[in-house]
Amino acid sequence: MSKPRIAVFDFACCEGCQLQIVNLEEEILDLLAGADVVEWREAMSEQSDEYDIAIIEGSITRPEDEARIKEIRSRAKVLIALGACATIGGINKLKNNFDLDEVKTCVYGADAGKPHLATAMTKAVDEVVTVDFKVEGCPIDRKEFTYIVRCLLLGKTPEIPVYPVCVECKANGNPCLWDQGEVCLGPIIKAGCGARCPSNSHRCFGCRGYVDNPNVNAAKDVIEKYNLDIDTLKLKMSLFGSQQEPTVS
Ligand code: SF4
Ligand code: SF4
Ligand code: SF4
């Protein structure tokens, strides 16, 4: 039986999530022993239009990106969105909060009118094509990436947490940062990172995106308990939550 063919593609991003994969070092050789990597710009020069699994890093910010991701989707049996830029639009989506012409002038100056610049509103990959699996985070968690790819190569469906970061944070025995005056987004953000930030005394800033059906009312209750206002929560949600549900009013 032939091995599954994997191709890795990048769109608008810092390539930090691909770097996490490269940093797996020897583990990546073990992981990919059951597959053929046919394209991966960051790690090899070969290219191919024939692949089974497409791994997509980065968000969609130009019309030509939309055409490209649709072409990749049409060739791949399985498509994985890698990292916050791909799964939720990531930091790139901040620009959607502003006038696009102003953003272009601010970033590109006199070159703002040139073609092939990031000229469209930022979209997550699943706003353009169907995504089969997401590896959340900015950057991704290497263990979670390994687990998801290993499951796929073994023909299993990976189990991704559906509960919030607070569950992992409590399991780690951390004191809650809300008690220290921090607005931590743990109650409404998807777990899976092992509560990386609050376990190191930093608030969760939401890089894994919102849990399904987040209990926003409970979050509001917590805000009231700590005498904070809703705008403070909204501000904290803007880094990775721009243009995402849930809306908080
Ligand atoms: S999710 Fe973060 S680390 Fe990954 S490519 Fe985007 S900005 Fe870079
Ligand atoms: S520190 Fe953050 S993640 Fe941990 S329990 Fe408090 S709100 Fe939840
Ligand atoms: S704790 Fe929050 S911000 Fe930190 S890695 Fe996890 S989801 Fe991302």
Residue 186 lies in a domain: yes
9 and 105: one domain?
Answer: yes
At residue 223, does pLDDT exceed 80?
no
Does the C-beta of 187 come closer than 6 Å to ligand 2? yes
What is the CATH classification number for the domain harbouring 144?
A: 3.40.50.700
Task: Report CA-CA distances (Å) from 152 to 80, 141, 158, 160, 202.
Answer: 10, 17, 7, 13, 33
32 and 132: one domain?
Answer: yes
Does the C-beta of 191 come closer than 6 Å to ligand 2? no
51 and 172: one domain?
Answer: no
Residue to probe by mutation, ligand 1, list 9, 13, 82, 88, most atoms within 8 Å of CB? 13
Please state the atom number of ligand 1 nearest to the C-alpha of residue 91.
7
Domain tally for the chain? 2
| pLDDT tens track for 172-204 | 999 999 899 888 999 889 999 999 999 999 999
Predicted TM-score (pTM) above 0.85: yes
Among 153, 174, 197, residue at a domain's last position:
153
Domain that holds residue 30: 5-153
64 and 169: one domain?
Answer: no
The Cα–Cα gap between 82 and 57 comes to: 5
Strand pairing category for 36-40 and 78-82: unpaired
| pLDDT tens track for 107-136 | 888 888 787 777 788 999 999 999 999 999
| pLDDT tens track for 44-66 | 899 999 999 999 999 999 999 99
Can you tell me the mean pLDDT for 6-34?
A: 91
Does the C-beta of 193 come closer than 6 Å to ligand 3? yes
17 and 119: one domain?
Answer: yes
